[in-house]
Amino acid sequence: MARSDLVSGNVWEQYSKKVQSRMDNPRAMGELTEEDATRLGGKLIVADFGAESCGDAVRLFWVVDTATDKIIDSKFKSFGCGTAIASSDAMAELCIGKTVDEAIHITNTEVELFLRDDDGTPAVPPQKMHCSVMAYDVIIEAAAQYKGVERSTLQNQDIICECARATKADIISAIKTYDLKTLDEIGAKTKAGTYCKSCREPGGHEEREVYLIDILNEVREEMMQTSLHEAANTTATGENAFDKMTIVQRIKAVDAVIDEFIRPMLIMDGGNMEIIDIKENLPYYDIYIRYLGACGSCASGSTGTLYAIESTLKHKVDENIRVLPV
């Protein structure tokens, strides 16, 4: 929630002029028949996608020149809202003159860009991107028919967010590269899940097999396991930097140095010390200690001795360690 969410319902005022004009007067609306195909000297393709239950359904007609695979003419019919009609219209028009292989690369995001009045302003509001997805799906359907192949062979099976055309690989890479921890952070980096929101988590407009939340949890778990393994492996070789260590490893590392270099001196004077806690206070690591025995009443505990302990740990463990008596 923020200022922009406080007045809702603004859908139509966010339609670009181009979307509005295509809703009022679609240019590529209509049908193509076998007679048209014969007249134009090509092959007729009729492809359907969507269903009324989803709120959108589209039928795409192509006449394709079989010699060059070029789409000679393209028309559509659509059951749907303004966005669905305008994006189907733009999509059908964009197909004309392209080869079938080129047409496969017309995506809903490209159609949306084509429908913008200016580069910086989206042609439709975010939740309406969903209604333009089938414009892409129906092209794949038509191309599959023309080529006589399964549509799955033409489609990137890896798409998680259809509105933003973000693949699973894109999303995983973004989570790892930018250390993303929430769905909103994923949205900010990849736009995935920011349109119709179906893919974010169960309970949205459409059911999915995989949701962003699953991917996020999976990748975060994997990242944690990886860092644990790295920490374990590098400790074994004695090369691990303090900042890469787990909390247990840090305690062990600090304790080992204390045991070897500090504690014997304190015991000689009838005292001792223990580690109470290690807190990350980046860029510092604050190590809280408690003096035991004679050290507890020693005046040097907050001056000379403390300085010596801190200096030893800085030198032996990490530059950024600070030692604080409790």
Partner 1 sequence: MEVYLDNNSTAPIDPKVKDILCKTADIFGNANVIYKQGIETRAELNKAYDVIYESLNASDDDDIVFTSSTTEGNNAVIKTFLDAFLKGSGKNHIISCVAEHSSIKSPLAYCKTFGMEVTYLGTDVNGLVSIDELKAAIRPTTALITILTASNETGAIQPIKEMATIARGAGVPFHTDGAQAIGKINVDLQDMGVDYFTWSAHKFHGPKGIGGLFIKAKAPFVPLVHGSKNVMGGKRAGSIFNNGIFAMAKAIEIANSEMNVAYIKNHIGQLRDKLEKAILAIPDTKSYIPKEHRLNNLVVASFRGIEGEAMLWDMNKNGIYISTGSSCSSESLEASAVVEALGEKVEIANATVMFALSRFTTHEEIDYVIEKLSSIVTRLRAISMTYATQQAFSVHEREE
- Other Cβ atoms within 10 Å of 242 Cβ, number: 17
Is-contact 62 73, C-beta < 8 A? yes
Torsion of Cα atoms, 264 then 266 then 270 then 271, to 10°:
-120
Is-contact 26 83, C-beta < 8 A? no
Hey, what are 317's tokens? 């463990």
Is 131 tagged catalytic? yes
By CB neighbour count within 10 A (0-12 exposed, 13-18 middle, 19+ buried), where does 185 fall?
A: middle
Hey, what are 149's tokens? 């192949």
Is-contact 111 136, C-beta < 8 A? yes
Q: Is the Cβ of residue 125 or residue 325 nearer to partner 1 in the bound state?
A: 125
Q: Is the Cβ of residue 27 or residue 229 nearer to partner 1 in the bound state?
A: 27
* Smallest gap from residue 214 Cβ to partner 1 (A): 21
* Smallest gap from residue 293 Cβ to partner 1 (A): 54
Q: Is the Cβ of residue 63 or residue 84 nearer to partner 1 in the bound state?
A: 84
DSSP 206: S
Cα–Cα nearest to 18, from 93, 75, 72, 80 = 93
Cα–Cα nearest to 306, from 290, 323, 293 = 323
* Smallest gap from residue 166 Cβ to partner 1 (A): 19
Tell me how far CA of residue 52 lies from CA of 34, 57, 78, in angstroms: 26, 6, 10
Is 95 tagged catalytic? no
Candidate list 131, 161, 199, 295, residue with the active-site label: 131
Contacting residues toward partner 1, per CB under 8 A:
8-9, 11-12, 23-24, 26, 29, 31, 48, 51-59, 76-85, 127-128, 130-131, 196, 198, 204-205
Tell me how far CA of residue 172 lies from CA of 37, 157, 197, in angstroms: 45, 15, 18
* Smallest gap from residue 6 Cβ to partner 1 (A): 13
In sign, the C-alpha dihedral spanning 129, 131, 132, 137 is positive
Give dist(CA 51, CA 43) in Å, integer. Answer: 26
Q: Is the Cβ of residue 58 or residue 254 nearer to partner 1 in the bound state?
A: 58
Q: Is the Cβ of residue 26 or residue 301 nearer to partner 1 in the bound state?
A: 26
Give dist(CA 253, CA 245) in Å, integer. Answer: 9
* Smallest gap from residue 50 Cβ to partner 1 (A): 8
Give dist(CA 305, CA 311) in Å, integer. Answer: 10
Q: Is the Cβ of residue 75 or residue 250 nearer to partner 1 in the bound state?
A: 75
* Smallest gap from residue 56 Cβ to partner 1 (A): 7
Residues assigned a catalytic role? 54, 131
